[in-house]
Amino acid sequence: MSVVADILVAAVALLHVYILVLEMFLWTTPRAMKAFGMTREFAEQTKALAGNQGLYNGFLAAGLIWSLVAADPVGFQAKVFFLVCVAVAGLYGAATASRKILFVQTVPAVVTLAAVLIGR
């Protein structure tokens, strides 16, 4: 397996750990409000929903981390599966919430997926 692909997978996983932290623990802080373009009132009203969203991002990160330590063929299959999940989630987010998500989530996942497939 390609070292470059594994580094990219780790980077996507870390991105999703960061998103988990923002959504689950920092949602009502200035940092998260700026990142997601929210008012304090909206952040307070949506805190529980954001926590749930953060948990799902954590599952994506956990799957990607697992893919890095699992032996092939499972490791390879998990990389492909979870990167496709990240890309699809990013497409949905870009279509329904903010186009910015396309560049923050989908593009890195697709580039990483390409690296994983090429490095096979």
The pLDDT, as a whole number, for residue 1 is 60
**Looking at the 3D structure of the chain, how many domains does it have?**
1
Q: What's the predicted TM-score (pTM) here? A: 0.93
| Total length of the chain | 120
Domain that holds residue 17: 3-118
The pLDDT, as a whole number, for residue 29 is 96
Tokens 């599952």 — which residue?
59
CA distance 12 to 64: 8
pLDDT per residue rounded down to tens, the chain (120 residues): 699 999 999 999 999 999 999 999 999 999 999 999 999 999 999 999 999 999 999 999 999 999 999 999 999 999 999 999 999 999 999 999 889 999 999 999 999 999 999 998
